[in-house]
A and B are shown apart, each in its own frame.
Chain A
């Protein structure tokens, strides 16, 4: 008898626990994955809610949220307002970061080489093929540049990083815009492809005379020779959280419906020109109100408590002004009963 009761109790616990463990499912961009994973862990520790984020890529994230298999999608390439309306989605920026050009030329240290947007575009267009080309030498008097072929390294997989980089080149070089354009993957005029940020970093480090582009965190952690970029004001700035934040501060989010805003080539003397944000996508009409509520709870918590963790991983938190705007958007997310699923941090 006792045995039976014990078995029943054990069975009940087994059946109960999955229902009791609350979970949020998300999928998408790989760029913010390290940060989302860190946030998720800390959030789980405080609330017991598990965030299951799959970094399958922005394209995959958009597909998954449209087919409603996840509670939220994540993308580095913001969707245009029309597409958001059509699919019944809301979009908001979660965190920002910078893309930095990295080089591997003997004798060049981090923050030594100076480049401008047009020169960078010409290198990636294969119009500048040698390191001692006059265009590069003119920007870098006093730097010994070798007569070596430039090996361009780019992403071989589709990526939000590529989108931010190509979008910047499109802004500063009409020829790039016409011949290549901007997307998560493009038709590269030249170069070697590496898979993922780590692939580009590894290929650049192993190839003499290489130039590539990676997320700032990868350049910093691998101690790669990142270049100084000339920004819109003609100032040469180094990539760091200060210069990323400067670019973000000049962004006019209020003028961008659906937060469809790109942060490249922003004004400001200290602004890093190749800055970008990564976005969350959710359905306006939530089928599972509880899940959507928990997801918004997670994002609110992350805005509030995740700043230090973002800093540690070299991401840039959203400014408070933008967070307030995002919170307004959250109120438009309604459950099947037509009421907003989440009305602020009161429930926490």
Chain B
């Protein structure tokens, strides 16, 4: 029996409610999901409806359950994270304005790879090692749970890559391909918050088109990361229009 595409798609609701019995039909839909982005996102939305249905059915469990579960957890080894072996498609970076993604150990490993990959494009191994040694704080940031990688294009050219560790209130910024500035001008980073704007430091001079990582601390909810061109030495407040304004998901 062959399924028409429409037929297959209409299974998303039943699938999200675990209402397809185990067998070829469910397998076929599961495979379809891995290829159909819109189906996958529909299933995700439906699962949230399921969550609301579950919360509506909340009931008080027997009190002993807590003790039993915690005791069982204490003697149960946890699974390690799955490490993805698939390279991220490069076009994602160019097309999507910013890409927040997963947190946790897997992400951290990927971010380290992604950032180091960035470095590796521009540096020899020795320089890379030097950068890594100089940025102890940044490695700490990279290993923080919940760290997110964001990339954003900069107006007039270039891309900013940000690793954000929201719970540490820190971020690291690397840029590639920013236009070279005339003497007497610098790039300056800002944390643009509702009540005030604070400087997050100057971008160091680029090497082979890439600026070494800059660490910014004190990132709070509602902050947007900004980048402006300022007179040498930097300014107390931005004096030009930001060429990057990246809202930070803190």
The answer to whether A and B belong to the same complex is no
